[in-house]
Amino acid sequence: MADLAEQIAHSAAKVVASGESRNGSELDYSEASLAAVEAMLAEAAEFAGEMTPAHLTTLAQDIGCYILEVGRRSFGGRYLWHDQRDQPVLVVGEPIFRVAILAWNKVRGRLGGDTGDNIPFFYAGFAERVRSASPGTDALYV
């Protein structure tokens, strides 16, 4: 699992580095920084049709990893691989409760121009569920 966590951290760090070149965008792994991520995705969505499928996949995975790292740094937890969805999942709250989040598909949707896949709104739902979880809670945010 250390390899998975290292890969996610590395991908997230690439997003932070790319955000440093943008005016006014501070990607500091905070929940507030997800507004800058949303702005980046809105801009990228305008050019998604010009990107190769491989570039879109890499972008979705890297930004998705940043979102997962925001969650891990805020709430702890561990990374697992979700075989059915072929992507990492962050699981927090164990053993008392389990609230998990997947991010790659949400980012793919946003890159596709779906404003309903708003990243700050999505993450806020996950964060609130973690903060209000009671023993036995078992939820997955996708």
pLDDT tens for the chain, 142 residues long, are 569 999 999 999 999 998 876 656 689 999 999 999 999 999 999 999 999 999 999 999 999 999 999 999 999 999 999 999 999 999 999 999 999 999 999 999 999 999 999 999 999 999 999 999 999 999 999 9
Q: Which two tokens stand for residue 34?
A: 């997800």
Q: Which two tokens stand for residue 75?
A: 């709430």
Structure pTM? 0.95
Residue 5: CB atoms within 10 Å: 16
Three-state SS for 94? coil
Lay out the sheet containing 87-92: strands in order across.
78-82, 87-92, 98-101, 138-141
**Phi first, then psi: what are they for 115, rounded to 5°?**
-70, -15
102, 82 contact by CB (below 8 A):
yes
**Phi first, then psi: what are they for 38, rounded to 5°?**
-60, -45
Q: How many whole angstroms separate alpha carbon 16 and alpha carbon 31?
A: 14
Q: What is the pLDDT of residue 18?
A: 87
Q: What is the pLDDT of residue 26?
A: 81
Name the region of 136 (left: φ>0; alpha: ψ -120 to 50; beta: rest).
Answer: left
Number of alpha helices (DSSP H) and beta strands (DSSP E) in the chain: 5, 4
Three-state SS for 137? coil
